[in-house]
Structure 1
Amino acid sequence: MSRILVRPASTPRNPNVIVAVLAFAGIVVSLMQTLVIPIVPELPKFLNAPASDTAWAVTATLLAAAVATPIAGRLGDMYGKRLLLLTSLGVLTAGSATVALSDSLTPMIIGRLLQGLSAGVIPLGLSIMRDELPADRVGTSTALMSASLGIGAALGLPIAAFVADHFDWHTLFWASTVLGAVALVAVTVLVPESRIRSGGRFDLIGGLGLASGLVSLLLAISKGGDWGWASGTTLGLFAVAVTVFVAWGLLEVRITQPLVDLRTTVRPQVLFANLSALAFGFSLFAVQLIVPQLLQLPKQTGYGLGEDLLTVGLVLAPQGLIVMFAAPLSAKISALRGPKITLMIGALIVAVGYALNIFLMSEIWQLILVSCVIGSGIGFAYGALPLLIMSAVPVSETAAANAFNTLLRSIGSSVASATSGVILAQMTTDFGGHALPSKDSFKVVMAIGCGAALVALLLASFLPRQRTGVTAGDDSTTPATVNAGHKP
């Protein structure tokens, strides 16, 4: 196990300020996921490039985020979480400015890659909270930080749609440049560097192996529908991913300072929390895919509502607010009953939301209701997951463990996108000579989303029961003792 280095205490900071700044940074990063959605159909015209190439503006961010998240978490544990947080926000700001200045495909993709590399902000922020906040504030604060992923994604769409409708598309990315710069300055001035570091040597081979495996897997998942699921390229990428991950796993269990401590990940609490995150990632994306399509399909289909993208954003926006309000309630339940119970409640609520969606999909108010129900379940779940992880891993591995959990959520969302895309493409109805997703195809995706939430509920039931929020894992240096003035 890595040695824990505890640096001398710095000037105490206001916990409320730290939480507000870190949550703001998390929301800014999560906004990047939805920022480009309103202009995707217009990118071929804006960039003078074919649609198959401009689609990489989305794919590049997905791949970069998947690679950056676990690596940033491990580097944060080793060299300082605030340092890596500032680096991530700096890269985000540079990427946003690059896109804002672009009028062609190459700088657009480079900028979107840089934006994706900032995805480690949320797990890094979670870990800073564990290190620096008083023990009685950790649960509520980490719940809010974790929920910022859903808050930003839900609020970003209506804002981006409004800006895209009324201003030049570059304005979206100038705005994200400003937000990134504000977050960068705020963290620099108001957030202290975590005093807990693991030290050690970075596992470069493990990092390259995980990156190549993730790129192969996610590229196959995200582009398989375009290339053909049975094509040589898609199957070859899946084969490469499996081979690389097997070799990577064998390497990680043999070295003393791995990128991801697989011995820790097989502990029941970590294992089932990670598997639940995978299932919840699927459920989160399903509603964000289904509701926009139902709203935008023509009314003449009999089930579409014929609304524009701004209306779509306004329908989904309350979900972000519900996620935010559910976070502190999630923390209270975790403090009283343990995060296992909170996670199970969240899974059950999400399952109920999707079950309602099967029957309530013909009016705008019904879709708002369903998205809010699902959002409340996501708020509960996302508040509980970091507590489960942090209470089961050594304090020296907090950022890496949170990053791996976040990565699995992203993989779950990618699988949901691919699965839903196949279903909607195969179950179609003819509308004026065009094949559109049928009403039954949406119900099937909703049923799968419900099933994924029930799988998460089942997985959560296997978690060990605990009544405390965050404990020391295998290390004696806990947030409470550090904040009390623990010296090395």
Structure 2
Amino acid sequence: MTLLRGRAGAVTVSLIGFLFFVEVVSGILQGFYVPLIPDLVDYLGINDSDFNIFEGAQLLLSALVVPVLAKLGDMYGHKKILLVTTVLTAGATWWLAFAGDFTSFLIAWTLQGFYVVWLPLEIALIFDKGRRSGHAASATRKAAALLIVGLEAGAIAGALGSSVVFDAFGGAAALATSIPPTLMAPAIAVTIVFFVILFGVPESEPLPGRTLDWIGFSLLTIALLFITSGLTFLKFNGPEAIWVWGIILFGLLIFLPFVWWELRHKDPAIDLRVLAQPNMWPVQLTAFLVGISLLGAQAPLATFAGTDPDEVGFGLGLSSGARSILIGVYLISMIVGALLFPLISRLFTPRRALIIAAFLVAIGYLLFLPFHDTTLQVFTNMFIAGLGSGALVGAMPSAAAAAAPRGQTGIASALTNTTKTIGGSFASSVFAIVLTIGVVQVAGSTASSLFGYMLVWIICGVGALLAAFLLFMVPKFAFADESDEETIEATAAI
């Protein structure tokens, strides 16, 4: 039985089922720890702000290692690298369960970030399996939609389940004995993932005779390290710190020798000629622009929802439980968007579906400007933005894979994750500065001004609008199946 009878070729239901489980666990890792953050802060004896260091370190690791690991998947097989990264993630997750101090917890939390490469590797593996049938693009879009459903469902399950597990072991009243067994739950899940991949996922067919461009990847790593570190320092030190801008500028300048080297290497780390194609560079820039809202805007939205309007004149004043429901609505809308994307692609062509998704993100955030006074308005805005975001999360890596030549699907998919992460880091830093500048003090509490929040929504909305217009530059036949005559006929009339 195949995912699409007569169309998906080697992409089987069993393969998607196994990878679906992998993404469920990936979602659990992303959602499980969030409700436990206040208790983890008390358990480790640190400040609330110190937890941001954990998040920043993990994002930095993912930005650095994902391109290299994806390239290794293209070279030696995507299943092999999936197994390696699962072992690393499982080891780090078990370490978290027994880490009782700041330093060890930081190292373990950072190393857990290897799971970020799972989705790009899965997309590349699915595309490789579907390539033989001539319907790799459509099969990958449908499979990616299901994987995103698994990811978001796992995030919801993790967020809801962690509190249940924590309370079952004694909760906040017995942190010393409740935290370790609670954190073993995700470690067990990741361990199971290893065996699911080992016995259930077939290997892809890498091209022989490939080499790893160590110099190219070293230059790329140095550039990303300085840029992402600089953005993090910018958030904590503000724009007046000249040395921070120097770090970012140095990272950008590293791209000059990187480009020079890559254009002369026979098997470059990143094939810049492929990246410059009209069906590739708009997708990568879209990933960056969507990362602004997807990764950067969630914290401002949460603080706005929790701000008491009786004190500062704006906000929703929602409790932590109500804010969790708000986040849940957003995640559900992402699931709906991911499921609708393949259908819209078939009706309007993949390129148009991407454009529609980007416009939905833009509309959702720009609606915040006039409509932000009631909970229903905020729910509606986030639902609309979530529809577009959910579609794009799975669509961008699958579109990049469809645009890449054989042997480069992994690295092309992974680059959408890297550019998305950089976009999120950039937005996180800029939003922190924007909201800090507009801080007002009322009755001994602090809250960012409404103007600061509006700037956040404008940046998110305009960024998504720009992404939509960039996608108009993609050729009409991009991301369609090689043998899909129906898609070609549909696009020919546009």
TM-score with structure 1 setting the length: 0.87
Does the C-alpha gap of structure 1 residues 204 and 298 become closer, same or farther in structure 2, counting only changes over 3 Å? same
CA distance in 1, matches of 2:370, 2:218: 46
Aligned residue for 1:373? Answer: 384
1:43: how far off? 4.7
1:424: how far off? 1.0
From 464, 470, 474, give the equivalent of 1:453: 464
Q: How many residues align?
A: 461
Secondary structure in 2 matching 1:357: coil
Aligned residue for 1:5? Answer: none
Residues 21, 187 of structure 1: 8 Å contact kept: yes
Secondary structure in 2 matching 1:435: strand
Does the C-alpha gap of structure 1 residues 13 and 262 become closer, same or farther in structure 2, counting only changes over 3 Å? closer
Say what the alpha-carbon RMSD is for the aligned residues: 2.6
Residues 342, 381 of structure 1: 8 Å contact kept: no
Instruction: Using the TM superposition, name which of 210-219 and 66-75 deviates more.
Output: 210-219
From 143, 156, 165, give the equivalent of 2:145: 143
Aligned residue for 2:295? Answer: 285
Counterparts of 1:33-182 in structure 2, within 5 Å, are: 33-41=30-38, 43-49=40-46, 53-133=50-130, 135=135, 137-145=139-147, 156-160=158-162, 167=171, 168-170=178-180, 173-182=183-192
Aligned residue for 2:240? Answer: 230
Residues 235, 428 of structure 2: 8 Å contact kept: no
CA distance in 2, matches of 1:29, 1:181: 12
Aligned residue for 1:9? Answer: none
Aligned residue for 2:310? Answer: 300
Aligned residue for 1:8? Answer: none
* One-letter identity of the residue aligned with 2:15: I
Secondary structure in 2 matching 1:57: helix
Instruction: Using the TM superposition, name which of 117-126 and 293-302 deviates more.
Output: 293-302
Instruction: Using the TM superposition, name which of 261-270 and 388-397 deviates more.
Output: 388-397
Does the C-alpha gap of structure 1 residues 354 and 240 become closer, same or farther in structure 2, counting only changes over 3 Å? same
Instruction: Using the TM superposition, name which of 319-328 and 421-430 deviates more.
Output: 319-328
From 22, 38, 59, give the equivalent of 1:25: 22
Residues 161, 309 of structure 1: 8 Å contact kept: no
Residues 351, 449 of structure 1: 8 Å contact kept: yes
Secondary structure in 2 matching 1:391: helix
Residues 132, 194 of structure 1: 8 Å contact kept: yes
Give CA deviations for 1:200-250 in whole Å, capped at 9, x if unaligned.
121222222222221211111123221333325412321321222222222
Residues 347, 453 of structure 1: 8 Å contact kept: yes
| Percentage identity across paired residues of the two chains | 24
* One-letter identity of the residue aligned with 1:284: L
Residues 158, 317 of structure 1: 8 Å contact kept: no
Aligned residue for 2:198? Answer: 188
Secondary structure in 2 matching 1:276: helix
From 399, 409, 414, give the equivalent of 1:403: 414
Residues 402, 409 of structure 2: 8 Å contact kept: no
Aligned residue for 2:358? Answer: 347
* One-letter identity of the residue aligned with 1:104: D
Secondary structure in 2 matching 1:103: coil
Give CA deviations for 1:188-209 in whole Å, capped at 9, x if unaligned.
1211111233541212222222
1:61: how far off? 0.6
Aligned residue for 1:475? Answer: none
Aligned residue for 1:421? Answer: 432
Does the C-alpha gap of structure 1 residues 471 and 399 become closer, same or farther in structure 2, counting only changes over 3 Å? farther
Secondary structure in 1 matching 2:456: helix
Secondary structure in 1 matching 2:372: coil
Give CA deviations for 1:285-313 in whole Å, capped at 9, x if unaligned.
34422321122223433323333334322
* One-letter identity of the residue aligned with 1:234: V
1:393 corresponds to 2:393: no
Secondary structure in 2 matching 1:197: coil
CA distance in 1, matches of 2:182, 2:145: 28
CA distance in 2, matches of 1:198, 1:277: 30
Aligned residue for 1:4? Answer: none
Aligned residue for 1:205? Answer: 215
Secondary structure in 1 matching 2:446: strand
Does the C-alpha gap of structure 1 residues 347 and 464 become closer, same or farther in structure 2, counting only changes over 3 Å? same
Aligned residue for 1:7? Answer: none
Residues 291, 421 of structure 2: 8 Å contact kept: yes
Residues 435, 452 of structure 2: 8 Å contact kept: yes
From 427, 441, 445, give the equivalent of 1:430: 441
1:398: how far off? 0.3
Residues 282, 470 of structure 2: 8 Å contact kept: yes
Instruction: Using the TM superposition, name which of 66-75 and 228-237 deviates more.
Output: 228-237
CA distance in 2, matches of 1:371, 1:256: 46
Residues 334, 389 of structure 2: 8 Å contact kept: yes
Residues 295, 421 of structure 2: 8 Å contact kept: no
Give CA deviations for 1:335-369 in whole Å, capped at 9, x if unaligned.
34322101110011111111222233333333322
1:101: how far off? 0.6
Does the C-alpha gap of structure 1 residues 325 and 430 become closer, same or farther in structure 2, counting only changes over 3 Å? same
* One-letter identity of the residue aligned with 1:330: F
CA distance in 2, matches of 1:151, 1:420: 28
CA distance in 2, matches of 1:384, 1:212: 29
The runs of 5 or more residues in structure 1 that have no matched partner are 1-11, 473-488
The runs of 5 or more residues in structure 2 that have no matched partner are 1-8, 172-177, 484-494
Residues 351, 479 of structure 2: 8 Å contact kept: no
CA distance in 2, matches of 1:150, 1:275: 24
1:407: how far off? 1.0
Does the C-alpha gap of structure 1 residues 335 and 291 become closer, same or farther in structure 2, counting only changes over 3 Å? same
